């Protein structure tokens, strides 16, 4: 989306705008969010949003002349002692700096925020009346996951098809655990890897949980305990819906502050599972 303002934002202005929406203080203690590379004084006229900081999205950012690549996932997740271009992550850092493109991460701070990643997933699936699965004590409306209602009760099989149609297509597809004829209306979503939070979603009365990265025993144990049905989508697909939402919010905030900026969303599927035999 393109919008007209009168002045050029600096990277510091854009980082501030992102962090007003997605407070880095709300990120999990194990997370690595914020500015990865870039000069806060540099001008930012074009921003690209992507789920993953990988070669394909860095290519897209540089080819499109983006001054900032804003990704959901961190590039440097564990502490490093080198960003030499001989390492995969270091090579991306070098390419970004050479191309004049900053890299900023909004990860678990975007997961838990209002109008964050789980809200975007809930909206994509048509849920209404949503509340957090695990509410934030400090920030009303924020917290982990979302639970809400579909417009009508449908079978689990029909719901899974609607999930497939609502999210980006991936080779992973949509996996279902539970009786296909089970009526479902109350739906919990846990964007990204939700395996550790199935019990919390069960406690808020969900008929079905939509998440990703579920392991064999986690799924079996959930069903054996009488937990909700499970719909497992590609991790990428569960988080991509946040990109257009964040782009719209960020663009609106920057334009309201008088900045001329263009905010675009990557549509490259960066799910690592690319085929199914
Ligand atoms: Zn994720």
State pLDDT tens for residues 112-165.
999 999 999 999 999 999 999 999 888 888 999 999 999 999 999 999 999 999
pLDDT given at position 137: 87
Higher pLDDT, 86 or 138: 86
Q: How many CA atoms lie within 13 A of 223 on its CB side?
A: 13
State pLDDT tens for residues 220-261.
999 999 999 999 999 999 999 999 999 999 999 999 999 999
* Nearest-angstrom CA–CA distance, 273 and 277: 11
The structure tokens 């991460």 sit at 105
* Interior angle at CA 135, CA 146 and CA 188, nearest 5: 20
pLDDT given at position 185: 98
Q: How far is the CA of 49 from the centre of ligand 1 (A)?
A: 14
For ion ligand 1, residues whose CB falls within 5 Å: 192
CA distances (Å), origin 74, targets 52, 68, 132, 217, 277: 8, 14, 24, 28, 30
pLDDT given at position 4: 64
Domains of the chain in sequence order: 2-109+240-265 (3.40.1390.30), 114-233 (3.40.1390.30)
pLDDT given at position 138: 83
Q: How far is the CA of 11 from the centre of ligand 1 (A)?
A: 24
State pLDDT tens for residues 183-230.
999 999 999 999 999 999 999 999 999 999 999 999 999 999 999 999
**Paired residues of 146 in beta bridges:** 132, 189
pLDDT given at position 91: 98
Helices and strands in the chain, H and E counts: 10, 14
* Nearest-angstrom CA–CA distance, 37 and 6: 26
Going by pLDDT thresholds of 50, 70 and 90, the confidence category of residue 1 is low
Kindly report the average pLDDT of the chain as a whole number: 96
Whether the predicted pLDDT of 2 surpasses 60: no
Going by pLDDT thresholds of 50, 70 and 90, the confidence category of residue 6 is confident
Q: How far is the CA of 235 from the centre of ligand 1 (A)?
A: 6
Instruction: Provide CB contacts within 8 A for 212, sequence distance 6+.
Output: 191, 192, 193, 194, 232, 233, 234, 235, 237, 238
Q: Are 36 and 76 in contact (CB under 8 A)?
A: yes
Residues 49-73 have a mean pLDDT of: 98
The crossing angle, in degrees rounded to 10, of helices 55-63 and 88-98 is 0
Residues 61-65 have a mean pLDDT of: 98
Q: How far is the CA of 131 from the centre of ligand 1 (A)?
A: 20
Whether the predicted pLDDT of 3 surpasses 60: no
3-state secondary structure of 8: coil
State pLDDT tens for residues 96-118.
999 999 999 999 999 999 999 99
Q: How far is the CA of 117 from the centre of ligand 1 (A)?
A: 9
Instruction: Express as a percent the part of the chain with pLDDT over 70.
Output: 98
Q: How far is the CA of 8 from the centre of ligand 1 (A)?
A: 31
Burial class (CB in 10 A: 0-12, 13-18, 19+), 10: middle
């Amino acid at each position: 989306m393109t919008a007209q303002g009168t002045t050029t934002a600096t990277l510091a202005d854009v980082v501030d705008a992102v962090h007003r929406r997605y407070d880095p203080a709300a990120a999990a203690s194990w997370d690595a969010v914020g500015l990865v590379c870039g000069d806060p004084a540099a001008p930012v006229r074009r921003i690209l949003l992507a789920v993953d900081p990988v070669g394909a999205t860095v290519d897209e950012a540089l080819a499109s002349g983006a001054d900032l690549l804003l990704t959901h996932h961190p590039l440097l997740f564990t502490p490093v002692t080198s960003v030499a271009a001989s390492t995969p992550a270091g090579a991306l850092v070098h390419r970004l700096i050479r191309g004049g493109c900053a890299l900023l991460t909004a990860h678990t701070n975007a997961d838990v925020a209002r109008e964050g990643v789980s809200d975007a997933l809930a909206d994509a699936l048509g849920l209404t009346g949503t509340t957090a699965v695990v509410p934030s004590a400090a920030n009303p409306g924020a917290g982990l996951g979302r639970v809400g209602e579909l417009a009508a009760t449908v079978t689990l099989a029909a719901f899974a098809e609607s999930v497939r149609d609502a999210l980006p297509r991936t080779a992973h597809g949509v996996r279902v655990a539970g009786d296909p004829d089970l009526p479902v209306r109350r739906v919990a979503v846990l964007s990204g890897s939700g395996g550790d939070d199935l019990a919390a979603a069960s406690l808020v009365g969900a008929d079905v949980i939509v998440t990703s990265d579920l392991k064999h025993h986690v799924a079996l144990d959930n069903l054996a305990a009488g937990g909700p049905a499970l719909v497992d989508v590609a991790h990428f697909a569960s988080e991509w819906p946040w990109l257009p939402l964040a782009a719209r919010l960020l663009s609106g905030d920057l334009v309201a502050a008088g900045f001329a900026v263009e905010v675009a969303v990557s549509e490259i599927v960066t799910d690592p599972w690319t085929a199914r035999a």
